[in-house]
């Protein structure tokens, strides 16, 4: 394994806390406490990246990977997956003094979300997670990766669009997807392979244009587009307000009586935290799941 390459981040970061938070979203599948490891598709090959944090103050990450010649690309992938470019200090200044978010941010100091290695993977995750539990979605995704992904050491990289586009539909369904979700996944993969959807070009589009591009595809509604924006594209002011978990936790922390909010009420409740409304919602979700506020 090549490396390590050191990365010094702007603003606070706690890799161990971020790994625990990520693991908390799927009970019984907690991530390792100290080391981030992932298999990453790199065009015709796949690589494995490993990240450690030798220092909290200043926040320093050490990135290693294989094959050695892919280390620069693996470093870019790790930076993307760990939100390394997100400086938390403006968010902390914004919520400082708020009776709820200020306390939550203090408990979760240095927490950042994690995201998939590619927008394609993020969109497949959005399909899989529609209207089922996170645990069920995790199991389906794990089977999909095992069946169609590229092995790297003891890990497996997420399947490439051409692999899923050409796969027999019955083999995708055997991973636990319904017939309709299988059609959505294959439709997405075929759209990407054909070039009708340029995922790389989405990165340069404003939020509304991304929403329009995603919701034109069969099986992708506003929730999927907002999920892609906030989690896949790091647009930290976007909130998937229709998400049941977001509605529940926002009401629990910010509404009188802790009642579940409507999507419109979620948006209103999070207005004070612009331009970090999506990040604020993530902090509330993580705080509730880690039990930090209990």
pLDDT tens digit sequence for 175-190 = 999 999 999 999 999 9
Asked, for residue 268, whether it belongs to a domain, the answer is: no
143 plus 57 within the same structural domain: no
154 plus 66 within the same structural domain: no
- What residues have CB less than 8 Å from 244, skipping those under 6 apart? none
**CATH number reported for the structural domain that contains residue 21 in this entry:** 3.30.310.20
Q: Which domain holds residue 194?
A: 119-232
pLDDT tens digit sequence for 9-44 = 999 999 999 999 999 888 666 555 789 999 999 988
Q: Can you tell me the distance from the alpha carbon of 16 to that of 31, in angstroms, rounded to the nearest whole number? A: 9
Q: Can you tell me the distance from the alpha carbon of 212 to that of 226, in angstroms, rounded to the nearest whole number? A: 11
50 plus 134 within the same structural domain: no
| Count of the separate structural domains present in the chain | 2
DSSP assignment of 44-96 equals TEEEEEEEEEEETTTTEEEEEEESGGGHHHHHHHHHHHTTTT---HHHHHHHT
| Cα torsion angle, 83, 196, 39, 285, sign | positive
Q: Can you tell me the distance from the alpha carbon of 282 to that of 294, in angstroms, rounded to the nearest whole number? A: 17
User: Tell me, what's the pLDDT at 294?
Assistant: 44
pTM, full prediction = 0.94
**292, pLDDT greater than 90:** no
As to burial, measured by CB atoms within 10 angstroms (0-12 exposed, 13-18 middle, 19+ buried), residue 179 is exposed
Asked, for residue 191, whether it belongs to a domain, the answer is: yes
Per-residue pLDDT band for 106 (boundaries 50, 70, 90) equals: very high
**122, pLDDT greater than 70:** yes
10 plus 81 within the same structural domain: yes
74 plus 132 within the same structural domain: no
**CATH number reported for the structural domain that contains residue 131 in this entry:** 1.10.340.30
Asked, for residue 265, whether it belongs to a domain, the answer is: no
Domain boundary (60, 85, 110) is at 85
Asked, for residue 96, whether it belongs to a domain, the answer is: no
Domain boundary (232, 248, 269) is at 232
Average pLDDT, whole number, for the chain? Answer: 95
**273, pLDDT greater than 80:** yes
Domain boundary (211, 232, 253) is at 232
Residue 137, both tokens: 């979605």
DSSP 8-state symbol, 274: T
Q: Can you tell me the distance from the alpha carbon of 110 to that of 16, in angstroms, rounded to the nearest whole number? A: 10
pLDDT tens digit sequence for 220-269 = 999 999 999 999 999 999 999 999 999 999 999 999 999 999 999 999 99
């Amino acid at each position: 394994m090549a490396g390590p390459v050191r990365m010094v981040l702007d603003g606070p970061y706690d890799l161990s806390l971020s790994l625990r938070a990520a693991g908390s979203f799927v009970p019984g599948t907690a991530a390792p406490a100290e080391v981030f490891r992932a298999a990453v598709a790199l065009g015709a090959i796949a690589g494995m990246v490993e990240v450690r944090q030798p220092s909290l103050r200043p926040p320093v990450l050490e990135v290693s990977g294989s094959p050695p010649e892919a280390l620069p690309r693996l470093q870019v992938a790790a930076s993307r997956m760990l939100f390394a470019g997100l400086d938390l200090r403006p968010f902390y200044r914004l919520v400082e003094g708020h009776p709820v978010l200020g306390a939550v941010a203090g408990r979760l100091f240095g927490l950042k979300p994690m995201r998939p290695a590619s927008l394609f993977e993020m969109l497949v995750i959005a399909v899989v997670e529609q209207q089922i539990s996170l645990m069920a979605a995790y199991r389906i995704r794990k089977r999909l990766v095992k069946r169609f992904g590229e092995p790297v050491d003891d890990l497996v990289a997420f399947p490439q669009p051409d692999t899923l586009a050409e796969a027999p539909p019955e083999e995708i369904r055997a991973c636990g997807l319904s017939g309709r979700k299988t059609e959505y996944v294959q439709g997405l993969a075929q759209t990407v392979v054909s070039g009708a959807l340029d995922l790389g070009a989405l990165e340069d589009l404003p939020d509304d244009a991304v929403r329009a591009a995603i919701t034109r595809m069969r099986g992708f509604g506003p929730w999927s587009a907002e999920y892609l924006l906030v989690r896949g594209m790091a647009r930290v002011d976007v909130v998937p307000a229709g998400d049941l978990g977001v509605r529940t936790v926002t009401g629990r922390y910010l509404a009188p009586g802790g009642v579940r909010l409507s999507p419109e009420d979620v948006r209103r409740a999070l207005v004070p935290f612009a331009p970090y409304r999506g990040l604020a919602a993530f902090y509330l979700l993580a705080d509730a799941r880690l039990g930090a506020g209990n």
